[in-house]
């Protein structure tokens, strides 16, 4: 999938389908490959909900709206709070996921952050990483 600009620069959240895409982009298999629609659908179905791989593909494309309980199960499968897919109030979490995506695609091998009251402008950092990646690909 191509990387779209799905960050919340203006403080608003992107549509749910783009948030699902971001989860797939950030939370990958141990070898770095994107998780399959089939694997995620199986995990959601194992939790007692009805989700096919085809329905998940359609939801990721924005052509199908999934039920709230299914969205909650998808969020849980990716290890994020259900509010990320169920409300527009999880802007801070979204910004952190965008930052993780940018770090992951920039070639950075690791980041060491010190404890305490360390605050980072996740949107600004993600934008900086995106610009650096674009510059290096243009050279």
d(CA 112, CA 103): 12
Query: For 17-71, what is each residue's pLDDT tens digit?
Result: 999 999 999 888 888 789 999 999 999 999 999 999 999 999 999 999 999 999 9
d(CA 83, CA 90): 6
Could you tell me the residue ranges of all domains in the chain?
Answer: 14-87, 90-139
Domain 14-87 has CATH 1.10.260.40: yes
CA distance 60 to 16: 8
DSSP H helices in 47-121:
53-61, 68-77, 83-86, 91-106
Stretch among 92-96, 102-106, 115-119 having the lowest mean pLDDT: 115-119
Residue 93 class from Cβ within 10 Å (0-12 exposed, 13-18 middle, 19+ buried)? Answer: middle
pTM for this predicted structure: 0.72
């Amino acid at each position: 999938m191509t990387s779209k600009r799905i960050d919340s620069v203006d403080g608003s959240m992107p549509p749910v389908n783009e948030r699902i895409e971001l989860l797939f982009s950030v939370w990958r298999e141990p070898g770095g490959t994107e998780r399959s629609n089939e694997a995620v659908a199986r995990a959601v179905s194992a939790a007692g909900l009805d989700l096919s791989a085809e329905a998940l593909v359609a939801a990721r494309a924005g052509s199908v709206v999934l039920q709230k309980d299914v969205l909650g199960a998808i969020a849980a499968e990716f290890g994020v709070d259900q509010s990320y897919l169920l409300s527009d109030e999880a802007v801070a979490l979204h910004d952190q996921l965008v930052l993780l995506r940018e770090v992951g695609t920039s070639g950075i091998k690791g980041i060491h952050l010190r404890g305490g009251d360390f605050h980072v402008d996740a949107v600004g950092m993600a934008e900086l990483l995106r610009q650096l990646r674009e510059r290096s690909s243009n050279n």
